[in-house]
Chains A and B, each alone.
Chain A
Amino acid sequence: MSPDAPILKVEGLKKHFGGLKALDGVSFDIHAGEILGLAGPNGSGKTTTINAITGVFPIDGGEIHFGGNAIHRLPTFRRVRHGINRTFQVPRPFPALTVLENVMVAGTYRSERKSDPHRILEDLGLAEHADRPAKSLNSSQQKMLGLASALATSPQLLLVDEIGAGLNPEELSGMAARLRSYAAQGMAILVVEHLMDFLDRVTDRLIVMDAGNTLFTGKLQQATQDPRVIEAFLGG
């Protein structure tokens, strides 16, 4: 693999649910250290893209290469151990386990890149809640815990699903700074987001999806002027 090859290469991704084409041939790349934005109206296939990359369900067409290897037939835990992780749009912690245990589950794997659960909790401002059951956290804390669990597997590719929704302006800037610092350390990040303003703070490269297709790929500034993008957001 050449040094400037993308770490993730998605080609012609297809996924249908019954008659609904949730993904209809989606392609894009991400390089190490890069943040790529993924926007699009509700139901356009953003979460489905993340689910397909993390192996939540089998895909119906296309290929996914990570670090030069085809991964689209691997089970989720193998993809995670290869260095991919994500957050969920609606957090899915282990409710009865403590915050620390939630992160420790993930910390068990990827022995070659061990993470420190305590440090992760410290960094994300959850250290004081370490011994509380995850279900007792409020929703923005649960989002942070979701991020903590993902980080605990030391991902080289992180997929974040609308992590900005429901955060207050201060938390939003903190999150933007955090994502930029992960990227600065070499992590590739796909940021699925509704909030253009938040995307603007973390990246200048953007994909816009609509109805399972990529409408637009390019600079964020151009996206906001592209008539098809405007149509999808306003007309959708």
Chain B
Amino acid sequence: MPKGWRSTTLIPVITLLAFAVLPHLYNNQFLLFNMMMYMALAQGLNIIYGYTGYLPFGYVGFFGAGAYGGALAITFLHWSPYLAVLAGGGAAVLLGMILIPLFRLSGAYFSIASLAAAEALYYVVANPGLEPLTQGPYGISLPQVYDPNGAYWTMLAILLFSLIISGVIRRSRFGLALSAIRESPLSASMSGVNVVKLRSISWLLSALIAGLAGAAFGWYISVFYPETVFGLGIGVFTIVFVLFGGIGTVLGPMIGTLILYGVYNYIGISTPEYFQLAYGLLIMILVLFLPNGLVSLARKRGLNVA
């Protein structure tokens, strides 16, 4: 196996072992669940931001769409929660398709427009007029499928899926073409790359992962409100974890999540509002001074980072 592929395989294997064993050593399953969730979201965001350079501030919209998509499949179609998680992924992909025209915008305009789209979806879902469908502001409750263990293992599967997709992209010609798009869309098309198609595929993969994670989250907590799953906090955390760890790699978002979500849980739980502020500032500092994240420091020292 070539060197690069070995580390690409190693990361999912270690992750699988760690999250399979940890619940037996540590009794806060919800924290472990959230850790996996943020790791998956970080990989998902990395696929669109790390490779193509488009940073959707409204990435949480896919998460919320997934949570509601899954919940509606359970409530109205009486699907099993496992199928409902897939439905959540599908709902996010659908939303992603609707939002593809946003790519006509560049840079910051794209980022802000995606945020506006996520906010708009939040207001639609939370609208009391939609109570028969979404329960509006009163929230969703899914007691009939309550099963934290089932949701835990599902989230682990989603995380592994995101790691495998991310690893394959990193090592494939598809990933190389995506990196070319990030560096210069014009030169990429001059190299024969179908920029619109490849960017859309990575966008939808990124949406899919967030949608699956959102649906599994909704299942795990089984009672949630629009602001729980469309809250900007989830989006800010995901962005800061990816930026901190390092974009365009598989390992970077994992390390970023491990450290920053770890720190947050260690000292931040009691004062979450300060953390959102602190992490918001951290995003600005990272973009300005360490745009390629922690792993870029390792790479500067000659280490080959997966």
Contact = CB atoms under 8 A, between A and B. Distances in A.
B122 to A, nearest CB: 35
B300 to A, nearest CB: 12
A2 B246 CA distance: 56
Given A97-B180, A104-B176, A108-B177, A80 B187 contact: no
B196 to A, nearest CB: 8
B9 to A, nearest CB: 22
Nearest to A77: B189
Interface of A: 54, 56, 75-77, 80-81, 85-86, 88, 92-97, 101, 104-106, 108-110, 149-150, 152-153
A229 B185 CA distance: 37
Interface string B162-190: 00000000000100110110011011111
Interface in B82-102: none
Interface string B189-201: 1111111100000
A47 to B, nearest CB: 13
A153 B180 CA distance: 15
Contacts of B173: 104, 108
Contact of A105 (B191, B194, B196): B191
B187 A109 contact: no
B169 to A, nearest CB: 14
Given A101-B176, A104-B176, A108-B176, A81 B184 contact: no
15 contacts: A75-B189, A77-B190, A80-B189, A86-B190, A92-B184, A92-B187, A94-B179, A94-B187, A94-B188, A97-B179, A101-B179, A105-B188, A108-B176, A108-B192, A109-B192
A86 B191 CA distance: 10
Nearest to A86: B190
Contact of B191 (A56, A95, A149): A149
Contacts of A108: 173, 176-177, 191-193
Contacts of A95: 183
Interface of B: 173, 176-177, 179-180, 183-184, 186-196
A152 B176 CA distance: 15
- B interface, over-half SS: helix
- Listed from nearest, the 7 A-B pairs whose CB atoms lie closest are A109-B192, A94-B183, A106-B191, A76-B189, A80-B192, A105-B180, A77-B189
Contacts of B189: 75-77, 80
A116 to B, nearest CB: 15
A96 B183 contact: yes
Nearest to B194: A77
A92 B180 CA distance: 11
A160 B193 CA distance: 20
Contact of A93 (B176, B179, B187): B187
B249 to A, nearest CB: 13
A54 B187 CA distance: 11
B200 to A, nearest CB: 14
Contacts of B193: 77, 105, 108-109
Contacts of A80: 189-192
Contacts of A105: 176-177, 180, 188, 191, 193
A110 B190 CA distance: 12
A102 to B, nearest CB: 8
A92 B186 CA distance: 9
Given A96-B183, A97-B183, A54 B190 contact: yes
